[in-house]
Amino acid sequence: MIMMKKVHQISLRVRQFCKQNLKIWFLILGVLLVVGLGASLFQNFNAKNHENIQYLAVIPHFMIKSQRVSDFYAFLQKKYFSNFMPDQIVLISPNHFFPNMQNPVSICTPRSVKFNATRIFAQGRKESHIICDQNVFYQKGNQRYTRDHGLGVHFPFINRYFPSVSKVFILVVPSYRLYHSEWIANQLAQFHGNTLVIGSVDFSHYKSEDIADQNDQISFGLLSQTGDIERLRNLDVDCPACLGVLDTLSQRQGQRIHQRLRDSSSTILGKDMKEENTSRQFLWRE
């Protein structure tokens, strides 16, 4: 009889223990569900908060000390896209080889495009203002190539820092025909999702370092102001029209320009390269 009572008491304690611990487990499960729901809502809010935004950067194509270009890509990836990737990337370059062409040039059907040893899968975009495939691009065997380094030198960095972005648009523009800039900006504003827009632009060319530095200060000062993009026409840069695209988008989004770095052939090599000098500015906007 005594044994039966002890068994009964032990059984009651076990049930009470299980009941108490079951409450604890339900409490823990409830907390986990609340935390998970909160994280999901935060991610959804974060994604919605970044919809249809153009993230803008000016990155040089002059590849002296290319590690600085790589470092700037790393900075942009961390600054803009630490929690998500852009839905598409748009790379805009001056037309170095055919500067007298009247229209922007791109590819109009999606395909692999190669420069030196690096390929990128580029999206096509047919528009009445855009010339398809001519001159800037050429065929060799089954592979399409670009001869313009303003595009091609960026391929390795895009592949490295944005490997999951499947939509990459490449475009060369006539450097001083700024009337294309607003049209291009209007096209980009219609893209759904988040767009990283890269203006592949070098700054002062063929000037001594003192003059180049002064001209770069003037360029940055004008880019820091708002107003008609025609103010950019006389800047000492190789593509005012490229800057005009970013400037138009920036003004619409109320963004300010920031300079990450300014350098040149002369500052890197430690002597004034005079007529062989080229300067660079690494710029971003938010």
Per-residue DSSP letters for 132-167?
A: ESTTTEEEETTEEEE--HHHHTTHHHHHHH-TT---
What is residue 134's predicted lDDT score, i.e. its pLDDT?
Answer: 79
Residues 90 and 162: their CA atoms lie apart, in Å, by: 12
Contact 170, 107 (CB under 8 A): yes
d(CA 268, CA 18): 72
Note the pTM of the prediction, 2 decimals: 0.83
Distance of CA 247 to the CA centre of its chain: 15
d(CA 110, CA 168): 10
Buried b (16+ CB within 10 A) or exposed e, 61-79: bbeeeeebbeebbebbbee
- Nearest-angstrom CA–CA distance, 115 and 144: 9
- End-to-end distance of the chain based on CA atoms, in angstroms? 82
pLDDT below 70 — which residues of the chain? Answer: 1-50
- The radius of gyration of the chain from alpha carbons, rounded to an integer in Å, stands at 27
Structure tokens that stand for 111 in this block? 């395909």
Check: CB of residue 284 under 8 Å from CB of residue 73.
no
pLDDT score recorded for residue 13:
58
Q: CA separation (Å) from 251 to 55, 185, 226, 229?
A: 12, 11, 7, 10
- H or E element that contains 264: strand 257-264
Helices (H) and strands (E) in the chain, counts: 8, 12
Per-residue pLDDT, 136: 94
